Chains A and B, each alone.
Chain A
Amino acid sequence: MEAAKPSSYLLYILPSAIGFVGIIIIPFILNIAASFTQWRGVGIPKFIGLANYARLLKDELVWEGFYHSLIFILSMAVIPTILGLILAALLFDYVAARFGKTTASFFRAGFYLPQILPLAVAGVLWGWIFSPIGVLNTTLKAWGLDFLARNWLGDPGTAMLCVMFVMVWLQLGYSLVIFMSGLARVDPALYEAAELDGATWFERFRYITVHMLKPELFVVGLTTTIAALNVFAPVFVLTKGGPNNATTVPSLLAYYHFFTTNRVGYGATITTMQTALTMLLAYVFVRLQSRDQ
């Protein structure tokens, strides 16, 4: 059979290419274009050069948003990745070996549950738990710990901590499931060899597991970090960025400017900055990974 000309393959890419260009590329370019304009969403946009960017650099709220992004990287990427890795290894080596595979699967499914729960449901659920008359405060009072009870999400001092906790709860299952499937790929003889070499559980974890799961660590690290930089929905359903912007993030600010104050040009500027940062970070990750191989 004669091989098809490479150009004829393009035909097969066409349907998804149309989607990609229409839904991603064009809006992306338009968004960049909008960031150089003053525009209220209707009418003719007015070109104003870099004025939006100049304003962004001086906007303390935006800086605070990006600072919160770092906290979200901690609670959505760093902590769930480390915790997920340790939990996966524990479930795999200890729980599965001691209590059977079914028990391990049960825990894995349990940790994964938040991932399949609709975010709105999760938000309402945690809203109830943290509300001034919610489960948490009721429990604390029942134990006589009244002095600890407070308006968890309404207090700028605790709101971020609560959101962080929910984010870890939300993200843990994702990394756990990926790491557990990665562990199934590792030759069990490696662990046996290490055991005979005198390695304790933690030494096997440190010298074998961490190294063997490097591909998974990169994937989880990259995807969760990107998710942290773009986080919107969980914060929106929990606090809407409040109280007093204590939990606000760039996506929420962009949303606010787009839809509440109708400063579309400025909102576009924030999202453009956010995209640039995300892409820079992804680039660093991919470079690190290729250097590692």
Chain B
Amino acid sequence: MASVSITSLRKFYGTHSVLHGVDVEIADGEFVILVGPSGCGKSTLLRMIAGLETISGGTLMIDDRIVNNVAAKERDIAMVFQTYALYPHMSVAENMGFSLKLAKCPKTEIDERVRQAADILALTALLERKPAQLSGGQRQRVAMGRAMVRNPKVFLFDEPLSNLDAKLRVQMRTEIKELHRRLGSTIVYVTHDQIEAMTMADRIVVMQGGYAQQIGRPLDIYDAPANTFVATFIGSPAMNLITGKIEYTDASGRLLCADGASISLDDPAIAAFAGETVTLGVRPEHLQLCAPGDLNAFTAEVTAVEPTGAETFVVMKHGGQEVTAVLRDRLAVEPGAHLELSIAKGKLHFFDAKTGLRLAP
């Protein structure tokens, strides 16, 4: 096990910059997930940790050793690839034992360690099969087994679940989390699925456009996103963003939107923004139906209703901006109807309308 320390890490492909200086401290035994939209540089960062991409700038330390120029095979890191990259001509057991064989481990020890890993991953019955004779989920487990057998300093995962169907994905999520608890290993895991990140990680690194936008524990990020990108990326459906001008008089305020629509706001925090244009953030589950004239309330026109069974997503328009509410109750409304909604107390987020950075609280 080991810690990983990433300082101002940069990556250029030719003159094209894809990582513009990323800083992440990963503690020994921590499960860190890099999450972000496609093309944001997650895989690049992961592959730089692995030693599969050269480092253009900054430093990468594993434990207390700078490994910028250390070859991949000297870093003692195991990686589970998105396509699994199992050796097609080797059996499951040979795949898992390959690294030990290269390390000239005695045959009996290889067998023993492969057997142990196979036990944990429920692969014992499949050890003699070739990868082509396995299901997607089984291949995924073999790829993890190949990493486990080595007992490496750090485990890297690059979107390991993206080729599995939804149900298996949920199951493997639990298994990987359980595995981490059991092995206590340091894991860096890449995904573009924010739910995977939220459910599995000790800490999340939200990336976008080659920057780490925010680093923190899942619920901390959820409760206090650092900017509008993180606010809308983490959480599903995404956080509502409503831009308008704050009016504040006599301890009561409101957000005045572009076409005259407004939201009454009962929150002392807004005093600080009086007269300013801000972006108000509201999580869909913090909107509830209410009577006209309630505090923190506004009227919106329904454009779509999406029942999921447990909850109902209601998509609406308010002052020309889209607002989504997640309601616990089933609701029989047609598009075109008007609903009166209020925002739960203390659940307002404020962002700078220009920079998108979090203002308060």
Interface residues of A (CB under 8 A from B): 187, 189-190, 192-200, 203, 207-208, 211-212
Contacts and interface: CB of A to CB of B under 8 A. Distances in A.
Contacts of B50: 192, 196
Given A189-B81, A196-B73, A208 B103 contact: no
Given A193-B81, A195-B52, A199-B73, A211 B89 contact: yes
Interface in B83-108: 83, 85-89, 98-99, 102-103
15 contacts: A189-B81, A189-B85, A190-B87, A192-B79, A193-B87, A195-B51, A196-B51, A196-B73, A196-B78, A197-B99, A198-B99, A198-B102, A203-B102, A207-B98, A208-B87
Contacts of B89: 211-212
Given A192-B52, A193-B86, A211-B87, 10 more contacts: A187-B83, A193-B79, A193-B87, A194-B98, A196-B77, A197-B99, A197-B146, A198-B102, A198-B103, A211-B89
Interface string B15-28: 00000000000000
A189 B83 contact: yes
Contacts of B172: none
B72 interface: yes
Contacts, number: 55
B102 A187 contact: no
Interface residues on B, range: 20 to 34
A193 B51 CA distance: 11
A224 B51 CA distance: 40
B13 to A, nearest CB: 13
A267 to B, nearest CB: 46
A211 B89 CA distance: 7
Contacts of A192: 50, 52, 72, 79, 81, 85
Contacts of A208: 87
B85 A197 contact: no
A215 to B, nearest CB: 12
Contacts of A207: 87, 98
Given A187-B83, A192-B81, A192-B85, A197 B52 contact: no
Interface of B: 50-52, 72-73, 77-79, 81, 83, 85-89, 98-99, 102-103, 146, 150
A245 B64 CA distance: 71
A189 B82 CA distance: 9
Contacts of B81: 189, 192-193
A211 B52 CA distance: 23
Query: Closest 7 A-B residue pairs measured CB to CB?
Result: A189-B85, A197-B99, A193-B85, A211-B89, A198-B73, A198-B102, A189-B81
B47 to A, nearest CB: 8
B139 to A, nearest CB: 13
A209 to B, nearest CB: 11
Contacts of B87: 190, 193-194, 207-208, 211
Contact of A199 (B51, B85, B102): B102
Nearest to B143: A193
Contacts of A195: 51-52, 72-73
A187 B98 contact: no
Contacts of B77: 196
B90 to A, nearest CB: 8
A196 B79 CA distance: 7
A204 to B, nearest CB: 10
Nearest to B89: A211
Nearest to A210: B89
Q: Which of A195, A197, A212 has the most CB of B within 10 A?
A: A197
Q: Which of B78, B87, B146, B150 has the most CB of A within 10 A?
A: B87
Contacts of B98: 194, 197, 207
B72 A196 contact: yes
A212 B89 CA distance: 8
A185 to B, nearest CB: 12
Nearest to B156: A196
Contacts of B79: 192-193, 196
A197 B87 CA distance: 12
Nearest to B82: A189
Contacts of A189: 81, 83, 85
A131 to B, nearest CB: 49
A187 B51 CA distance: 18
Q: Which of A194, A198, A211 has the most CB of B within 10 A?
A: A198
A246 to B, nearest CB: 43
